[in-house]
Amino acid sequence: MTDKEALLIQKAYEEVKKHQNKDVHDPYRLTYHLMPPVGLLNDPNGLIQYKGVYHVFYQWNPFETAHGAKFWGHYTSRDMVHWQEEPIALAPSEWYERNGCYSGSAVESDGKLYLFYTGNVKRDDGSRETYQCIAVSSDGIHFEKHGPVLRLPGDYTAHFRDPKVWKKADRWYMIVGAQTLDEKGTAVLFTSMDLYHWEEAGRIAGSGMNGMDDFGYMWECPDLIHVNGKDILLVSPQGLEPSGYLYHNLFQSGYFIGELDYETLTFQHGPFRELDRGFDFYAPQTFTDEWGRTILYGWMGITDETESYQPTIANHWVHALTIPRELVVLNGKVYQRPVDELKKLRKDKIVVENKGKQIESNGVSAELLLNFVKAGSFQISFRNEAYLYFDSDKQEVYLQRRDLKTGALETRTCKQASVSKLQIFMDHSSLEIFVNEGEEVFTTRYFPNPNDDTIIFHGEAEFEWTKWNLG
């Protein structure tokens, strides 16, 4: 480690110490989600199960509750339920990452853990440089930087970042999020035999390609995975206009299902689908664990103008990651399901059968499982601050919460013919709502009155309701 890096890390820990006890009484601190100790968290990075241990790294600005020179924070776990905070993995100390160790991924090779990330440099005139870099570890905790292994190719602007690396047969592949010189979002594929020398295979998908119209000016955080026999490109496009039920957040996250031809290095794919229907979901990343499950974490937040209105900022922290979700492909769609391990959090089980039309319960950090026996419209109020509706005439599911800036109710909607099952994860300031076995998911932060823990259901539908407190 260079002196400069050691100094930066020391400063970050001073910042953590300074605010350490301030969040003790923060009613919005989450119980079972990963959060930054202080400062701003954004994308999940470097997800991997390495030597049996789950590693989650994350984009982290320890100095401010705003974006800036990003570090990689680090948590480990043996079960994705109990987490340990590890030493800072990467600090932006070198010339090629001066303005941030931006997002990236992890792979294991010859028993070592390799982190790939983007070294972000902002010049004085506002222009950028971008370097795809490697850091290596033998214990999964301490990393040695090996510097840039890929420079910016000629066909793209400096919005070129977020390398995701994987292996197939004896070859390595890297997908990078990029912007073409005429400002179209795209995903670019590279190959390598040794992780250090990379050759461009070209764009495999993008705005204006494969019969797609304009589809954003930049694609961030691409991820190419193989699930249930399909190749799936996850990507977070920027610059899509709202259209019907779709694209109402400032930026989107979604996927294309298709087939990557490893001979021609081309990707045939179907339409883009959004991964989440809520207000706060961006830049997801996946990994495959030892049991072959594909598991996704997302950033339970998004960069937009309401970000700076989150009340946790008063306590010097902002944002969190989602719970881990297993991905399954069914009927041409990606379903997301909370991983089984989360059942370990369950306690105080209550089962209620709804006989009347209204049920009142309570919970702050809780899981609700609703199995419907009779279909029909309904409404669920979460702590009088967020509301989930199903309208059986319109066949719509929608979620409302208060706009963090204006206080006005805002809505996100998706089409769904019926609702037969709901699995809902509530935490002190978050909701993750899995509709029909994870066919649709609504992820949102919300900031209810801390003294209000009421959950109220009313409507035509009949169901069995199981509730656990989670902790």
Residues making contact with ligand FRU (CB under 6 A): 42-43, 59, 70, 102-103, 118, 161-162, 220-221, 282-283
- Which residue among 3, 23, 26, 43 is the active-site one? 43
Question: In the bound complex, what is the minimum distance in angstroms from residue 126's beta carbon to ligand FRU?
Answer: 17
Question: In the bound complex, what is the minimum distance in angstroms from residue 39's beta carbon to ligand FRU?
Answer: 12
Count CB neighbours of 245 within 10 A: 14
Question: In the bound complex, what is the minimum distance in angstroms from residue 279's beta carbon to ligand FRU?
Answer: 15
Question: In the bound complex, what is the minimum distance in angstroms from residue 326's beta carbon to ligand FRU?
Answer: 23
Q: Which residues contact 6 (CB under 8 A, 6 or more apart)?
A: none
Q: How many residues does the chain have?
A: 471
Distance in angstroms between the alpha carbons of the first and the last residue of the chain: 38
CA nearest to 312, candidates 201, 414, 447 = 447
DSSP string, 233-265: EEEEEE-PPPBTTB--SSB--EEEEEEEETTTT
Distance, CA of 144 to CA of 138 (rounded, Å): 9
- 397 exposed, middle or buried (CB, 10 Å; 0-12, 13-18, 19+)? buried
Does residue 459 come out as left (phi exceeding 0), alpha (psi in the -120 to 50 range) or beta? Answer: left
Question: In the bound complex, what is the minimum distance in angstroms from residue 250's beta carbon to ligand FRU?
Answer: 11
CB 163 within 8 A of CB 105: yes
CB 168 within 8 A of CB 150: no
User: Torsions phi, psi of 16, nearest 5?
Assistant: -60, -45
Q: Which is nearer to ligand FRU, 74 or 161 (CB)?
A: 161
Distance, CA of 392 to CA of 125 (rounded, Å): 55
Distance, CA of 444 to CA of 401 (rounded, Å): 8
Question: In the bound complex, what is the minimum distance in angstroms from residue 190's beta carbon to ligand FRU?
Answer: 17
Count CB neighbours of 180 within 10 A: 20
DSSP 8-state symbol, 404 = T
CB 458 within 8 A of CB 354: no
DSSP 8-state symbol, 312 = G
Question: What pairs with residue 185 in β-bridges?
Answer: 179
Q: Which residues contact 250 (CB under 8 A, 6 or more apart)?
A: 302, 303, 304, 305
- Residue 299 tokens, joined: 């950033």
Count CB neighbours of 348 within 10 A: 11
**43 in catalytic set:** yes
DSSP 8-state symbol, 392 = T
Q: Which is nearer to ligand FRU, 47 or 470 (CB)?
A: 47
User: Pairing state of beta strands 440-445 and 430-435?
Assistant: antiparallel
Question: In the bound complex, what is the minimum distance in angstroms from residue 117's beta carbon to ligand FRU?
Answer: 8
Q: Which is nearer to ligand FRU, 41 or 342 (CB)?
A: 41
Question: In the bound complex, what is the minimum distance in angstroms from residue 220's beta carbon to ligand FRU?
Answer: 4
| Positions marked catalytic | 43
